[in-house]
Amino acid sequence: MSLTLYKPLGSNDEKTRLEAAKSLVTELSAKLNGEKDEKSSNEVQYALKRLTRGLSSGRESSRIGFSLVLTEFLSQLLEPSMAEKWEVSVETVLESIVKNTKAEGGASAQEERGSYFGQLFGFKSVIQSKRISTTSQWESILDALFGLGLKKSWLREPCAAVIRDSATKFPEDLASEWTTVTYTKLIASGTAKSSEGIAIWLVLQETSPSVQPPSGVWKNENPLNDSNLGTLAKVLKESKVEDAGAEKAVQQKGSWNQKLPIVWSLILQLYAKSAIDKVERKGMAPFEAFWRVAVDENLFAASASDEKKFWGFQLVTEVLSICDLHKIDLHRHIFSRNFVRCLINQLSKEDRYLHKMAEKTIRSVSSFGTKNPSEVLFLVESLVSNNGSPNFDNITKTKTVEKLLPQADTDGLLKIVKLFDGIILAPKEEEKRAIELRRQWAADHLLSLIRSGTTDKTEKWVGQVLHMFATYGHFDVSEAKPSLSPETQTMFRSRLLSCLSALVGGVEREDGEAWPYVATKRIAKLRKEGKYKFAIELDDEIQSSIDKAYKQLDKIRKKRQASSGLKKDQMSAFELLFTLVILQVFNGDSESLGLLDELKFVYDKIVRAKGGDDEEDGPDAGNLLVEILLSLLSKQSSLLRKLAQQVFKAFTKQLTAENLQLMFDVLDTDENADGQNELFERDDDNEDDDEDSEDDDVEEIEKMDVDGADEDGSGSDSDSDVEVLDESDEDMDDEEADKLNAAIANALKTDIGDSGRESSDDDMDDDEMMAVDEHLVNIFKARKQTTSKKKERREAAEAMKQFKSRILEILDVYVKQENHNPLALDVLLPLLRLIRRTSTKQISEKAVGVIRTLFKAKGVPAISDKKSAREAAWEILESIHNELLLDGSAAHTGACSQASLLTAKVLVAGGHNDKKTLSRIFNLYAKTMSEWMFVKQAAQPSFFTEMVNWANSTRNNMKPVAK
């Protein structure tokens, strides 16, 4: 027999190990089947000794390789005829395993550990050989395994695992007898009331339900019985539990293992199976009771160690995984009081010991909600009500609830809206401030649902949210306890406008009604019914204007329903304008009241075409419409911006050059306070700020960290569509600081910058001190006024940049819809001037984008063949070339090039690609190039190379040129 095959059994290389095992098993098989003599007997005994001894070796993969061969060897050796032939038995093999793996005296801890694991692998090989055929043999195995498990606490789990696995494979004819023996040996070992013992007990009950477990250990012979939950909880927590039936005390585990004991998984599997089968198991406590006693009041108790809470978090994740896999509802019982409290505490601060584990757990909760939309409502309720906190996201510094809400299905969203409605009507707070914050918190979450791009925005729940905001924002609702404060009502009106901002131009109703119209009619209906008191005080003049606007709105709606095509779009635009202006009036915007009369005039002039000649009957309706749109764009509101774009789309075909010029005038205005004052014709000293009424996204209720508002802004109603185009440093610069220091030093008659000189109050009498105080007050008052003025100028400049940015957006709409309109050429020069003058990169990029949109559009603006029209186009082309020479930036050059080539295409379109036209274009480029050569800050040369490329393309595609 080859002895060299033993060493490769310990190789880490699987192929080498398996080849050696295969060769050795073949040789041993031949030896066992051969003649028995003294030599062969010695060789068989040597093989058994060598294989069992190898199990205790810690070298590489020795235990794996040697146990593999030993299992195959024993499966042949312990075959009844072979066992008789070679005079061996299960008992003698067990003795050999213990003897050959036993550590010698004075062995190190590592050697002792190797010895114990060698025995464990050897006992497992005996079982896997499938040669245990009698109860006495099984008893011998049990004695060996239980005895080994008692030697070291860390051996109990692997030894119990071998017994559990064996119990699932008992021979059918011996299953009952072996189960009884196993119960007996388990009790005798003293481990029946340990986590390992419970695992064995539960497996035996599951695999042999006909065998009655011994009495006197667990009440009703079931560890999961109601009456045993208290004791079970202690055992699962691995606390010391007295076992009267044990022959010896069980050694407690000396160290904690972060891996969850297998018994927990077995228990969860039993409850999962019961839930899947929808059958309650006799004698087993309900899962809710088990979780409360064994987990919530045990692992998550306030006095529990961090290690036990770590196990608890693992259990939560495992339950969610099981429920997701089998679609069962055990998860509805795990969000218990102590668990949720512990979760919030650990998430709230990063330095908490279990913070990362809590993060992993909350991610599993979010993942479960994403995969099971029907359960989102339950998860949200569990986190923000019941045992949770309404401030869950704020306290934990996560966006769990905010991200969960949009994952709900349609039915869930309806129930979520109802949940928040209940919170609004009954916040369950006592202090006024807390009540307002709770209601704002609920409103903000509803708004986030509307704004979310993942929610299924069906009419039913979206309409319910709008009805709530419209009602609570405009009426004193008697169902609200306590009643809604004016500040809260203002907040709801703001949220209503923000919701409409998210819905306008996006989500459409099946009946074709616009969402703003639905909200406006809701208010009108409630006022007419008189159920609630209208919360907004309106004088007779405002009330009269509102009533007229509603009548006009009804007429427009009827006309829209009877119209089609462009006219229907225009009616929809007017409907939007009237409804939004009405809502703005209700929201306290005094300027909006005047817009109602102007809208009526524009409606009559543009749509109904009444009144005869425009010049005789008043201002141009087109100009007035554009001015109204510009007025809306000037306000810091995404809703009004979207509204302006919607309306603008409907009237682009009717815009004249004069109408467009109103927008160009804004683009040509300076981006500072002077430009703002010039544009709006107001005096800087008598500026009337009405920002609170014009911004539908102003926060009415100041936020607090704990009492309800989101610290990270997740629940805020800020206008996400208002981009910050420029940022200014509010700190004093060095020059200003020097001036302030000089003024103070002059007042004190000293030099602040002179560190070598000290000033003493003893040098001044009381009168002098009073004079200095008064002087300092005047200095700081002047400083405050200067700072205030600078802040106003910065804000004015920012407002102008925002205004221009929004005008560029609607000009982009215009060139997309009217790229064939000859007036589209008129936008080129104002945009080029803006690109050259603006100091804001975002504005420049938007202006370049508008020109690019027009340049890349299919087709070109179609101008008339009249001489005046063509000469006007030539003038635009020449002005573009003059503009080119005023700036050398790449953005300006690229925009000039596209504008020039577009105008050139317009001039040669329609059969005008004659030599005269083309020569005039090229001569203009040549003239520009000759001037460009001597300009200090010259434009990029790409302006001319792009013309050459266009000329070559035109030459290849055109028909023979007329001479």
Instruction: State the DSSP string of 913-960.
Output: --HHHHHHHHHHHHHHHHHHTT-TTPPPTHHHHHHHHHHHHHHHHSPP
CA separation (Å) from 168 to 67, 202, 203?
Answer: 21, 11, 7
Q: CB 852: neighbour CB atoms within 10 A? A: 16
CB 671 within 8 A of CB 800: yes
Distance separating alpha carbons of residues 86 and 94, to the nearest angstrom: 16
Residue 83 Cα to chain centre, angstroms: 67
Report the candidate in 479, 514, 511, 512 with the shortest Cα–Cα distance to residue 499. 514
- Give residue 60's pLDDT: 86
CA distance 633 to 810: 10
Using 50, 70 and 90 to split pLDDT, how confident is the model at 437?
Answer: very high
Ranked by mean pLDDT, the top range of 420-424, 604-608, 645-649, 737-741 is 420-424
| Position 736 pLDDT exceeds 70 | no
What confidence category does residue 55 fall into, taking pLDDT thresholds of 50, 70 and 90? very high
437 in Cβ contact with 699 (< 8 Å): no
Task: Calculate ∠ Cα 505-508-509, nearest 5°.
Answer: 150
> Average pLDDT of 704-723?
40
- Is 890 in contact with 848 (CB distance < 8 Å)? no
pLDDT computed for residue 874 by the predictor: 93
What does the pLDDT average to over 528-552? Answer: 88
For residue 845, give the nearest of 893, 798, 891 by alpha carbon.
Answer: 891
Cα 470 to Cα 444, 533, 535, 574: the distances in Å are 15, 13, 11, 21
541 band by pLDDT with thresholds 50, 70 and 90: confident
Range 307-334 average pLDDT: 96
Counting Cβ atoms within 10 Å, is residue 412 exposed (0-12), middle (13-18) or buried (19+)? buried
Q: What is the pLDDT of residue 959?
A: 59
Torsion 571-573-579-585 (CA) sign: negative
Distance, in Å, from the CA atom of 645 to the CA atom of 369, rounded to the nearest integer, reads: 37
User: Which has the closest alpha carbon to 711: 699, 720, 703, 701?
Assistant: 703
When pLDDT is averaged across residues 325-338 and rounded to a whole number, the result is 95
Between residues 3 and 23, which one has the greater pLDDT? 23
Amino acid 137: pLDDT = 94
pLDDT level of residue 624 (50, 70, 90 thresholds): confident
Q: Which two tokens stand for residue 685?
A: 């000293």
For tokens 């030896």, the residue is 31
Confidence label for 767 from pLDDT (cuts 50, 70 and 90):
low
Residue for token pair 């030099």: 751
Q: What is the pLDDT of residue 955?
A: 83
The distance of Cα 447 from the centroid of its chain, to the nearest Å, equals 15
> Is pLDDT above 90 for 257?
no
The one-character DSSP state at 961 is P
User: What are 846-857's pLDDT values in tens digits?
Assistant: 999 999 999 999
Mean pLDDT along residues 169-192: 94
Pull the structure tokens for residue 843.
């504005």
Q: Across the chain, what does the average pLDDT equal?
A: 84
- 950 has a pLDDT exceeding 70: yes
Span 413-442, average pLDDT: 92
Pick from 154, 348, 331: which is nearest to 253 by CA? 154
For the packed helices 459-474 and 486-503, what is the interaxial angle rounded to 10 degrees? 150
Q: Say which range, 232-236, 465-469, 617-621, has the weakest mean pLDDT.
A: 617-621
Q: What pLDDT, on a 0 to 100 scale, did the predictor assign at position 1? A: 59
In this predicted structure, the answer to whether residue 899 has a pLDDT above a threshold of 90 is: yes
CA distance 253 to 257: 10
Q: Estimate to the nearest angstrom the gap between the alpha carbon of 399 and the chain centroid.
A: 7
Q: How many CB atoms lie within 10 A of CB 703?
A: 17
- Rounded to an integer, the average pLDDT of 799-809 is 89
Between residues 468 and 595, which one has the greater pLDDT?
468
Contact 494, 445 (CB under 8 A): no
261-265, 450-454, 702-706, range with greatest mean pLDDT:
261-265
Q: Are 233 and 298 in contact (CB under 8 A)?
A: yes
pLDDT: which is higher, 640 or 247: 640
Q: Which of 508, 514, 535 is nearest to 523 (CA)?
A: 535
Q: Which residue did the predictor score with more confidence, 234 or 756?
A: 234
The CA distance from 825 to 872, in Å, is 10
More confident residue, 901 or 586: 901
Q: Please, which pLDDT band fits residue 549 given cuts at 50, 70 and 90?
A: confident
Residue reference for tokens 């972060």: 258
The C-alpha angle with vertex 285 and arms to 281 and 291, in degrees rounded to 5, equals: 125
pLDDT bin (cut points 50, 70, 90) of residue 664 is very high
CA–CA gap between residue 851 and residue 832 (Å, rounded)? 9
Query: What pLDDT is attached to residue 508?
Result: 73
pLDDT (0 to 100) of residue 744: 61
State pLDDT tens for residues 281-304: 888 999 999 999 999 999 999 999
Question: Rounded to whole angstroms, how far apart are CA atoms 314 and 312?
Answer: 5
Average pLDDT over every residue of 739-766: 54
Higher pLDDT, 625 or 937: 625
pLDDT of residue 720: 40
pLDDT at 362 over 60: yes
What is the rounded average pLDDT of the residues 113-131?
A: 93
Does residue 445 have a pLDDT over 90? yes
Half-sphere exposure of 402 (CA within 13 A, CB side): 22
**pLDDT > 70 fraction of the chain, expressed in percent and rounded:** 84
Q: What are the residues whose beta carbons fall under 8 Å from the beta carbon of 422, sequence distance 6 or more? A: none
Q: What is the pLDDT of residue 119?
A: 94
pLDDT given for residue 342 in this prediction: 96
Max Cα distance, the chain (Å)? 133
Contact 570, 584 (CB under 8 A): no
Lowest mean pLDDT across 182-186, 349-353, 689-693, 766-770: 689-693
Q: Indicate if the pLDDT at residue 732 is higher than 60.
A: no
> Taking residues 339-346, what's their average pLDDT?
96
Residue 501 has pLDDT above 80, yes or no: yes
The mean pLDDT of 468-473, rounded to a whole number, is 95
pLDDT computed for residue 646 by the predictor:
81
Higher pLDDT, 727 or 157: 157
Got the DSSP string for 151-190?
H-GGGHHHHHHHHHHHHTT--TTTHHHHHHHHHHHHHHHT
CA angle 613, 614, 620 (to 5 degrees): 170
> Mean per-residue pLDDT for 645-669?
88
CA-angle at 896, arms to 895 and 899, nearest 5°: 85
Q: What is the mean pLDDT of residues 171-184?
A: 94
Residue 137 to residues 174, 178, 453, 774, Cα–Cα distance (Å)? 12, 10, 67, 106
